[in-house]
C-alpha cells in the first residue's frame, strides 16, 4: 500500500514525550519555588523602600561598597547583585539553551520554529511599540529593549499563586519561549550595552573561557577547579567593558548536555540540577530585592502613564508581548500548516502570551543599563516595569481562570496512572503489557463487585423473608 498523500497535520502544543515532560516538570518545580521567593523579595523591596522609617536603611544597604578596588571590583551591593549574582542566573540560562539545542525542542527545526518565531516576535513587537510611543511622544529611544524580556520564574509564581492547572504542553512552551527570550536578551546586552572595550581584560576572559572548555573536553572534574576559574573569567569579563553576565552564559553553553551511553544524566543536566536552586532561590531574589525598591506614590504611578518612556515600557509589556507572541505563534501554525492541539483553543495561547508580558528580572537589568547615570529615569522605568508586569499578571489571571476547569481535566488525564506502573496511562496506550495489566485490574474489580452484589442480594432476600414472616404473625391492625 502507498502512503497517504495528505498525512495528518502536525499538532501545535501536542503532548510532550515522557522524558521531556519529566524534565520540564522538574525544571518548572524549582522555578516556581524560586518565583514565589522572587515575589516575596519584590514585595519586601517595595515595603523597605517606601516606609519612611526604613527608606534610608534600604538606600544605605543598596549603595554600600565592598570588594577589591585594585581589581576594579569595589562595587555596591546592588551592583554585585546585578553583575555578580545574575551571572549565576545566566549560567543556568546558558545550560538550558544548550540542552534545548541538543536534546530538547530546539533540536528539531520544525519543532523549534514555533518558540523561536514566537520569541522573536515577542521581542520585536514590544520594541516597536516602545519606539512608536516615544517617537510620537518625544521621548528617549534608549529604553527600547526594556519591554522585550519575559521573566519565567515570575510567570510561574503567578501560576502557583492563582492556582491554575496549565497543561504541560503550554508550560513547556512558556519555558522554551523564555530560554530563547533569554538568549536574545543576552545578545542585546552584549551588543547594545557594552562600554568601551578593555582589550587586555577581554583577551584574558577569552583565554579563561578557552581553558574552561579544554578542561571540560579533557574530562577534568571538581568544583575546586571550575569555581575559581569561573570567578576569574567573570572578573576579567566585568573589567573588559562587556556585561559580566555574558561570562555566565558562555560557560553554560560550553557544558555537554547530551548523554553518552550508560549515562542517566549529562554533565550539564547534573550541574543545572545543582545550580538552579542557587539561581532561583538566592541569586534572582536578591537581585530583585535591590532592584525593585523604587519609591511608589500616587504621583509616581500617574507619571508612568504620562511619560513616553515609561508608557512605552508598560504598553510594550502588556500589548506588545501579547500581540507579538500570539501573532508569531498563529503565523507559524498558519504557514507551516500545523493545527492546534484538539484539547486547546487559541484563547489559551492568547492567555499564555499575556502571561509572558511579565518582564521582571531582565527588564529591570536592561532598564538600569539603558538609563545608566540618570537615577530619576531609572527609577521611573523600574516603576513602569513593575506596573506593566502587574497589569499583565491581572489580565493573565482572569483569562486563565476562565478556562481553569478545562485545564484541570487535561492535567488529571495527563497524570492518571490507573495501572500503578509509575508512568502516566496516556504514554502506555501502545504497550500491550499496559492493557494486560488493566485487564487484570478490571477483572479483579469486576470479581469484587460480583461478590458484593451476591452479598447484597442475599442480605436483601434475608430481610424480605424476615419481613414476610413478621407479616404472618402479626396480621392485625397496627
- Distance CA(353)–CA(343), nearest Å, equals 18
168-192 and 346-355 helices, crossing angle to 10°:
40
- Cβ pair 356, 402 in contact under 8 A: no
Q: Give the model's confidence band at 213: pLDDT under 50 very low, under 70 low, under 90 confident, else very high.
A: very high
pTM of the entire predicted model: 0.77
Which has more pLDDT, 158 or 200? 200
**What pLDDT score does 7 carry?**
47
- CA angle centred on 442, ends 439 and 443, rounded to 5°: 80
What is residue 44's predicted lDDT score, i.e. its pLDDT? 92
Distance separating alpha carbons of residues 238 and 220, to the nearest angstrom: 26
When mean pLDDT is compared across 12-21, 132-141, 311-320, the lowest value belongs to 12-21
Average pLDDT over every residue of 288-314: 84
Computed over every residue of the chain, the mean pLDDT equals: 83
Written as nine digits, the cell of 100 is 534545548
Q: Are 269 and 257 in contact (CB under 8 A)?
A: yes
Percent of the chain with pLDDT over 70: 87
pLDDT digits (tens, 9 = 90+) for 54-94: 889 998 999 899 988 888 888 899 889 888 888 998 898 88
Of 415, 391, 339, give the one whose Cα is nearest residue 165. Answer: 415
* Residues 344-359 pLDDT 10s: 788 888 988 998 898 8
List the grid coordinates of 399: 483569562
Cα gap 34→14, rounded to integer Å? 27
- 362 — pLDDT class (breaks 50, 70, 90): confident
pLDDT band at 31 (very low <50, low <70, confident <90, very high): low
Confidence of residue 23 (pLDDT cuts 50, 70, 90): low
Strand-strand pairing, 75-76 and 65-66: antiparallel
Look at phi and psi of residue 240 and say left if phi exceeds 0, alpha if psi is from -120 to 50, else beta.
alpha
- pLDDT at site 12: 61
Query: So what's the pLDDT on residue 4?
Result: 44
Question: What is the Cα–Cα distance from 59 to 413, expressed in whole angstroms?
Answer: 51
Q: Would you state the pLDDT for residue 196?
A: 76
Greater model confidence, 20 or 233: 233
Query: pLDDT per residue over 159-212, tens digit each?
Result: 777 656 677 778 778 877 887 887 788 888 888 887 678 889 999 999 999 999
CA nearest to 152, candidates 79, 89, 88, 106: 89
Q: Is the pLDDT of residue 316 over 90?
A: yes
* Residue range 97-111: mean pLDDT, rounded: 76
Query: What's the pLDDT at 244?
Result: 86
- The answer to whether 221 and 158 have CB atoms below 8 angstroms apart is no
Q: How many Å apart are CA 267 and CA 376, to the nearest integer? A: 45
- Lowest-pLDDT choice from 277-281, 350-354, 449-453: 277-281
Strands 339-340 and 11-12: parallel
Say which residues have a Cβ less than 8 Å from residue 175's Cβ, sequence separation at least 6.
Answer: 24, 27, 28, 31, 152
pLDDT of 274 over the 60 cut: yes
Interval 176-189: pLDDT, tens: 788 788 778 888 88
Q: How far apart are CA 89 and CA 304, in angstroms?
A: 29
Least confident of 18-32, 147-161, 223-237, 382-396: 18-32
Is it the case that residue 473 has pLDDT exceeding 80? no
Report d(CA 359, CA 149) in Å as an integer. 5
Average pLDDT over residues 262-280: 86
> What pLDDT is recorded for position 57?
92
What does DSSP say about strands 11-12 and 65-66: parallel, antiparallel, or unpaired? unpaired
Residue 419: pLDDT above 90?
no
Our CA angle for 254, 258, 259, nearest 5°, is: 130
Listed range (187-201, 251-265, 423-437, 441-455) with the worst mean pLDDT: 423-437
For 321-346, write each residue's pLDDT tens digit.
999 999 999 988 888 877 677 677 88
More confident of the two residues 20 and 340: 340
pLDDT for position 478 = 47
Q: How far apart are CA 32 and CA 157, in angstroms?
A: 5
For residue 66, give the 3-state DSSP assignment: strand
Range with lowest mean pLDDT among 80-89, 143-152, 177-186, 363-372: 177-186
Largest CA distance in the chain: 115
Q: Which of 9-23, 223-237, 420-434 has the lowest mean pLDDT?
A: 9-23
Residue located via cell numbers 511599540: 129
At 5, the pLDDT band (50, 70, 90 cuts) reads: very low
Residue 194 backbone dihedrals phi, psi, to 5 degrees: -100, 130
Higher pLDDT, 206 or 102: 206
Average pLDDT of the residues in 442-457: 89
Q: Which of 155, 11, 30, 190 is nearest to 96 (CA)?
A: 30
Amino acid at each position: 500500500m502507498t502512503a497517504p498523500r495528505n498525512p495528518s497535520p502536525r499538532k501545535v502544543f501536542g503532548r510532550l514525550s515522557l522524558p521531556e515532560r519529566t524534565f520540564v516538570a522538574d525544571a518548572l518545580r524549582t522555578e516556581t519555588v524560586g518565583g514565589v521567593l522572587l515575589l516575596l523579595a519584590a514585595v519586601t523591596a517595595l515595603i523597605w523602600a517606601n516606609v519612611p522609617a526604613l527608606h534610608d536603611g534600604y538606600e544605605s544597604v543598596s549603595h554600600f561598597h565592598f570588594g577589591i578596588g585594585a581589581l576594579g571590583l569595589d562595587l555596591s551591593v546592588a551592583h554585585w547583585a546585578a553583575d555578580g549574582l545574575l551571572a549565576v542566573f545566566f549560567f543556568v540560562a546558558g545550560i538550558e539553551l544548550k540542552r534545548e539545542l541538543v536534546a530538547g525542542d530546539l533540536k528539531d527545526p520544525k519543532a523549534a520554529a514555533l518558540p523561536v518565531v514566537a520569541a522573536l516576535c515577542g521581542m520585536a513587537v514590544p520594541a516597536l511599540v516602545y519606539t512608536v510611543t516615544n517617537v510620537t511622544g518625544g521621548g528617549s529611544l534608549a529604553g527600547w529593549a526594556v519591554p522585550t524580556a519575559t521573566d519565567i520564574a515570575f510567570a510561574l509564581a503567578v501560576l502557583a499563586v492563582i492556582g491554575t492547572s496549565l497543561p504541560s504542553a503550554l508550560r513547556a512552551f512558556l519555558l522554551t519561549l523564555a530560554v530563547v527570550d533569554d538568549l536574545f536578551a543576552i545578545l542585546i546586552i552584549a551588543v547594545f550595552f557594552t562600554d568601551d572595550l578593555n582589550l587586555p581584560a577581554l583577551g584574558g576572559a577569552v583565554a579563561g573561557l578557552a581553558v574552561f572548555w579544554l578542561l571540560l573536553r579533557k574530562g577534568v572534574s571538581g568544583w575546586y577547579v571550575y569555581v575559581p576559574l569561573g570567578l576569574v573569567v567573570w572578573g576579567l569579563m566585568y573589567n573588559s567593558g562587556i556585561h559580566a553576565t555574558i561570562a555566565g552564559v558562555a560557560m553554560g553553553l560550553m557544558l555537554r548536555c547530551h548523554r553518552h551511553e550508560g549515562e542517566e544524566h549529562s554533565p550539564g543536566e547534573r550541574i543545572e540540577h545543582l545550580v538552579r536552586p542557587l539561581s532561583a532561590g538566592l541569586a534572582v531574589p536578591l537581585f530583585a530585592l535591590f532592584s525593585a525598591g523604587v519609591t511608589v506614590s500616587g504621583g509616581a504611578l500617574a507619571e508612568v502613564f504620562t511619560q513616553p518612556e515609561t508608557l512605552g515600557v508598560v504598553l510594550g509589556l502588556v500589548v506588545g508581548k501579547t500581540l507579538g507572541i500570539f501573532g508569531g505563534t498563529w503565523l507559524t501554525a498558519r504557514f507551516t500548516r500545523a493545527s492546534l492541539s484538539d484539547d486547546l483553543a487559541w484563547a489559551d495561547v492568547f492567555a499564555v502570551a499575556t502571561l509572558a508580558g511579565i518582564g521582571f528580572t531582565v527588564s529591570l537589568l536592561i532598564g538600569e543599563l539603558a538609563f545608566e547615570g540618570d537615577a530619576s529615569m531609572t527609577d521611573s522605568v523600574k516603576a513602569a516595569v513593575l506596573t506593566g508586569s502587574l497589569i499583565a499578571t491581572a489580565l493573565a489571571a482572569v483569562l486563565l481562570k476562565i478556562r481553569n476547569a478545562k485545564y484541570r481535566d487535561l492535567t488529571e488525564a495527563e497524570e492518571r496512572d490507573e495501572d500503578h506502573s509509575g508512568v502516566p496511562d496516556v504514554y502506555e496506550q501502545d504497550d500491550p503489557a499496559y492493557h494486560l495489566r488493566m485487564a487484570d485490574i478490571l477483572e479483579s474489580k469486576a470479581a469484587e463487585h460480583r461478590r458484593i452484589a451476591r452479598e447484597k442480594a442475599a442480605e436483601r432476600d434475608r430481610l424480605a423473608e424476615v419481613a414476610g414472616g413478621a407479616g404472618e404473625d402479626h396480621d392485625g391492625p397496627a
